[in-house]
Structure 1
Amino acid sequence: MLICLPPSEGKTPAPDGGAPVDLRALAAPQLAPQREAVLDALATVSARPDATKVLKVGATLAKEVTRNTALRTAPAAPATDVYSGVLYAAAGLGDLTGPAAALCADSVRIFSGLWGVVAPQDRIPAYRLSMGVDLPGVGRLATAWRPHLADALTGRAAGDVVVDCRSAAYLAAWKPTTTGPDAADWVTVRVVRDVDGQRTVVSHNAKHTRGVLTGHLLRRAGAPPSSAEALLDAARELDGQVIGTEIGTGLSYRMVEATLGDAAGRARSGPRTLELVIA
């Protein structure tokens, strides 16, 4: 099992006094030269007067952009502490112990416009850079990272199931191979709400639900799934459970069912879809 997660948009800075990032200690150390190039380009851009515009963030985030100029010396913390969004709160990756923590370290990879990909316990500083940025000196980040991530991840995914919880911008940086000797069972996770028999795609609750699924796959008893069908069986263990609470109303919602769709097209070169239905 390889679980692919997006980074959280919001990031919690590491406590003062922590050691800085060590690029060659991060997962996939072969990415270090590309990480160096992106880090240098980001520092240069972040010092420019038009930095927020180039990085596609609002003016209210200018302080976070300025922080990008000193990332080499900024204190670092485990990625599970830095990424603090809805998905990560629901998954509780930093609370894992024993076999679940070991499985998390081996099976979870977090995609990043700056680092390419990191493991949950990799120590990184808080930063501001989306994979959708066209970074001067590097180019479009998804395109720039693509060959490097293919080298780092395709072999790891081969013969296994890829549980893909990423958004489109991060998916563009690496797509698992679904044919040939390096083929993986690639499954994207889609969350829909059932209201009176009508199913609609949800956003905020989708992040939370993907986090719940991630935490469940790491904590559940038994061998981790290695195929799409085994993933479906594991997801169905959540059927009927209350998995979250609506912000604002305080009403709880539960998992209704999980279904597995086929890849689009005759060649089945794309992902299958695990659809999680909540109500």
Structure 2
Amino acid sequence: MFVLLPPSETKRSGGGFASLDIDSLSFPALNRRRRTVVRALKTLAKDEDATVRALKLGRTQLAEVHRNATLVTSPTTPVIDRYTGVLYDALAADTLSTDARAFAGEHLLVHSALLGPVGGLDLVPAYRLSHDSRLPELSLKKHWAGDVSLVLEKVGGLLLDLRSEGYVALGAAAGHPQRFFLRVVTEGTEGQTRALNHFNKKSKGEFTRALLENGQDFGTVEDLLAWAATAGLTLRPGAASELELVVTGH
């Protein structure tokens, strides 16, 4: 089983490990494309005004330009410790048990716009690049979509896709035989279902944390659904190749 998360625009600075080593990342078939994006982002960072426009930065976010300019020399930290924001605050990687972190290293993936899908404990620098960023002469969607789809479709076992649709566009896994896209929904008093927006991130983080702490490598979606029922989670089949995580109070 693999859980595939979106990244976050916000990231912690610093890190306790050496600078970026692309050859150490998961999915080495993507390394050539990773190097291309890294070079493009470094080149863009030489022009502050162009970077502000391309990455849609505010004038108070100019430190992000420096992050990109130094992304190949700055220290790295594990993926699950790098990202912040609603989803990753709910995941609370720094409070995971030792076993849960080890499980994340084997079964958690995060889809970065800079590096493509990476493993949960892969070492990455701080950077700024989103799925909808516009690099000069480089369309992230065209650059990533084909090769990312190929590597994701080859991932073995159950694949739970918790990405936002913007990151799915950078590489769908529609050809994966056991890929299920997770939607977070809530039900009204009369049983009507509606999707959540902001609160879906928190729910995805809490759900991922529960999976990591549980530490079971579910072989089928039926096994996953059976566990969820015992864990106090309302998880059910949705549309074709989709699951619905039903939450209350939003």
Same fold (TM over 0.5): yes
2:10 alignment partner, SS class: coil
Are the counterparts in 2 of residues 218 and 224 from structure 1 also a CA contact under 8 Å? no
Shift of residue 97, structure 1, vs aligned partner: 4.1
Which of 174, 187, 190 is equivalent to 1:194? 187
Are the counterparts in 2 of residues 71 and 125 from structure 1 also a CA contact under 8 Å? yes
Match of 1:168 in 2: 165
1:114 alignment partner, SS class: coil
Question: Where does 1:1-279 land on structure 2 (aligned, <5 Å)?
Answer: 1-15=1-15, 18-48=17-47, 49-137=49-137, 139-157=138-156, 160-178=157-175, 183-197=176-190, 198-220=192-214, 223-239=216-232, 257-263=234-240, 271-279=241-249
Are the counterparts in 2 of residues 111 and 117 from structure 1 also a CA contact under 8 Å? yes
Contiguous gaps of at least 5 residues in structure 2:
none
Shift of residue 118, structure 1, vs aligned partner: 1.3
1:192 alignment partner, SS class: strand
Deviations 1:227-265 (A, max 9, x none): 2222222333343xxxxxxxxxxxxxxx6x3321131xx
Structure 1's consecutive aligned runs of 4 or more residues displaced over 6 angstroms after TM superposition are: none
Higher RCO (CA-CA < 8 Å; seq separation 6+): 2
Are the counterparts in 2 of residues 76 and 124 from structure 1 also a CA contact under 8 Å? yes
Structure 2 distance, partners of 1:259, 1:118, is: 28
Shift of residue 94, structure 1, vs aligned partner: 4.1
Are the counterparts in 1 of residues 147 and 171 from structure 2 also a CA contact under 8 Å? no
2:110 alignment partner, SS class: strand
Contiguous gaps of at least 5 residues in structure 1:
240-254, 264-270
Instruction: State the identity as a percent.
Output: 32
1:275 alignment partner, SS class: strand
1:190 alignment partner, SS class: strand
Tell me which protein shows more strand as a share of its residues: 1
Are the counterparts in 1 of residues 17 and 75 from structure 2 also a CA contact under 8 Å? yes
1:156 alignment partner, SS class: coil
